[in-house]
Structure 1
Amino acid sequence: MPEAERPWRLLSRRAVVRDRHLDLDAEAVETGAGAVLDPYWVMTYPDWVLVVALTPEDRLVLVRQWRQGAKAWVLEPPGGVMDVGDADPCATAARELREETGYAAARLRLVASLWSDPAHNSNRLHVVLAEEAVDTGRLAREAGEELETVLLPASEALAGAAAGRFAHAMHLGGLLLALRAAGRLSF
Structure 2
Amino acid sequence: MTDAPPWTLLQSTPLIRDRWISLRADSLRKPDGVELSPWYVLEYPDWAAVVALTDDDRLVLVRQWRHAAQAWCLELPGGVMDPGDTDPVATCRRELREETGHDAREWRSLYAAFPNPAIQNNRIHFVLAQGAAPAGAVAHDEGETIRVECLPVAEVLAGLGNGLLHQAMHAGALLAGLAAVGRIRL
Report how many aligned residue pairs link the two structures.
186
What secondary structure, in the 3-state scheme, does the structure 1 residue paired with 2:41 have? strand
- Structure 1 148/7 Cα, relative in aligned 2: closer, same or farther at 3 Å? same
Asked if 1:59 corresponds to 2:54, the answer is no
Partner of 2:159: 160
CA RMSD of superposed structures (Å)? 1.5
Q: Distance in 2 between matches of 1:61 and 1:130?
A: 10
Contact 1:129 1:182 in 2 (8 A): no
- Structure 1 12/97 Cα, relative in aligned 2: closer, same or farther at 3 Å? same
| TM-score (structure 1 length as normaliser) | 0.95
Partner of 1:183: 182
Counterpart of 2:141, as a letter, is: E
Tell me by how many angstroms 1:5 deviates: 7.2
Q: Distance in 2 between matches of 1:154 and 1:134?
A: 15
Contact 1:5 1:32 in 2 (8 A): no
Deviation per residue, 1:82-112 (Å, 9 max, x gap): 0000000000000000000000011111101
Partner of 1:29: 28
Q: Distance in 2 between matches of 1:74 and 1:41?
A: 27
What secondary structure, in the 3-state scheme, does the structure 2 residue paired with 1:134 have? strand
Q: Please show how residues 9-28 of structure 1 align to structure 2 within 5 Å.
A: 9-28=8-27
What stretches of structure 1 move > 4 A for 4+ residues in a row?
none
Q: Distance in 1 between matches of 2:178 and 2:34?
A: 43
Partner of 1:99: 98
Tell me by how many angstroms 1:160 deviates: 0.5
- Structure 1 35/53 Cα, relative in aligned 2: closer, same or farther at 3 Å? same
Gaps of 5+ in 1: none
Partner of 2:84: 85
Q: Distance in 1 between matches of 2:34 and 2:170?
A: 35
What secondary structure, in the 3-state scheme, does the structure 1 residue paired with 2:104 have? strand
Percent sequence identity over aligned pairs: 48
Counterpart of 2:11, as a letter, is: S
Partner of 1:129: 128
Tell me by how many angstroms 1:28 deviates: 0.2
Counterpart of 1:179, as a letter, is: L
Counterpart of 2:147, as a letter, is: E
Moved more, 164-173 or 125-134: 164-173
Asked if 1:120 corresponds to 2:119, the answer is yes
Gaps of 5+ in 2: none
